[in-house]
Structure 1
Amino acid sequence: MEQAAIEEGAQLLELSGWTEGKHAVTNPDGYLQECDQNPPRGDTFLSNFVMLRHLPAVISFDIAATKKIPKSWPAIGDYLSQQVGHSFPVLALLNHSRAVRAIAGCICLNLDAIVCGIEPDAKYLMDIVFAGVNRNRLMAKEFRKMTKLMVDYYDEDCINAVYEFSKEDTDFSVDFMDALSDSALMDTPLSEMQVRMLYIAKASSYAPTRTTQAVVDSTKAPRFNI
C-alpha cells in the first residue's frame, strides 16, 4: 500500500488497532521493479479447488438474480427502463449476454428495498448527491431524470435542493443538525430519516473513509434505525 492510501484509510482503520506493517510501500519505484523481477505466482490447482465449495451458492444466486432478466439486448435495456428508470445503454457495448444479464440483475437488486434495506426513493436521491459531490453534471442529469420518472412525489424544487446540498460545504466534524442548519435540505418536505441518509451518503461520496463513526453517531436518533 502506498502512503497516500494508508493515510486515507488511517482515520478508520487505526481505530481497530490495524497497522500497515509489511503492507506499507516506502519505495514505490523499487517495489514495482521487484514485482517485475519476481511476479506473483499464478493460482494453483489447490487454490482453485478451495473455491469449489462456494460454487453452489454462486450458481443459486446467479439464477435468482437473473431469473426475470430478458435474454438479450435491447430487451434488457427496455426491462431496466421499466424497473429502474434507465436503460443503461453502455451495456449494449458488451458482447457477452450472460455478463449483461448479470449486471442488469445487480442493478435491479441494488434498488430492491428488501435486499439492500433502503427504500428506492431514497436511493435515487442518494445517487443525485453522489453525482453532485463528484461534479459529474451528466451523471447528475441522468439521475435527476430517473428520480422524476420513478418517484412522482419529489417535485422539481425538492430535487434541486438535494442537488444543491451535494455541492454545499458540509462540516462532518460537527453534529448532524449543526452541519445542516443552513442547508438547502432544510427547506424540503423530506423526512428527518431521509435527510440523515443523504448526509451519510454525501460523506461516503467523497471516500468511504469520510463515513467515520462520529458521522454515523451524529445521525442516530432513538426512533430511527440507521
Structure 2
Amino acid sequence: MYDSEQRWRAVDGYLATTLVDEDEALVAARTSARDAGLPAYEVAPNQGALLALLARLGGARRVLEIGTLAGYSTIWLARAVEHVTTIELDPGYAELAERNLAAAGVADRVELLVGAAVDRLAELVARGGPAYDLVFIDADKPNNPAYLAAALRLTRPGSLIIADNVVRDGAVVDPDCPDDRVRGVREFLELVRADPRLEATALQTVGVKGWDGFALVLVR
C-alpha cells in the first residue's frame, strides 16, 4: 500500500506522461541541474505546462521571471510568449541556464539578468519600457514582499502575478513560525489581500514537489 507521498508522486508521473509534452530539451535541463548539484527547486513538468498554459490563456507577450535556476521553467515560458526577462542570483546557475536555453532554441527570446533580484528589478523599473503581462516569482521567499512591490511597478491592469511555494508544508498557517521563508510568504499574502488593486487566490498542491502551493494575483 502506497503512503500519501508515494501516491502524490505516482499521480504526478501519470499526469505528466499522459498530458505533458516534456521534450528532450526540458528533460536535459532538469538533468543538468541535478548533475551540477543544483537544488531541486524547479517546477514539476505539469506545473511548467500550467505556467505556459496560463501565459497563453492570458495572451501574454512579455514575462518576468524572478529565479532562473537552470532555466527549466524559463523554457516553458519562452515557448509560450515572445519575450522573457529572467533574473538569477548565482552566476554559475546562470551559465548553466544559458546553455539550456540555447539547447532548447529559445535563447533569442530570453534576457537573463545576473545578480540580486532586488537590484535587477530596480534597474528594470528605472529602465522603463513595455509592461510585463505575467510575473512568475520563484526565488528567495524572504524577499517576496519586495518582489511584489517591484512587480506592481512593472505590470499593467490585467497582468497576472504567480508566486510559487506559498504553502511550505503547511507552515504558512503559523503566525509565529521563525522561518524567514514562511514569514516572507505570509507578508506577501497579507500585502496582496490589503491592496485594492489586486484580486487573488491560492491553491495547495501535492506531488513530486511535496506539499506546497501557489498564489495567483490579478492586477486590476
Q: When the two structures are superposed, what TM-score results if normalisation uses the length of structure 1?
A: 0.37
**More helix per residue: 1 or 2?**
1
Between Structure 1 and Structure 2, whose CA radius of gyration is higher? 1
Normalization by structure 2: what TM-score? Answer: 0.37
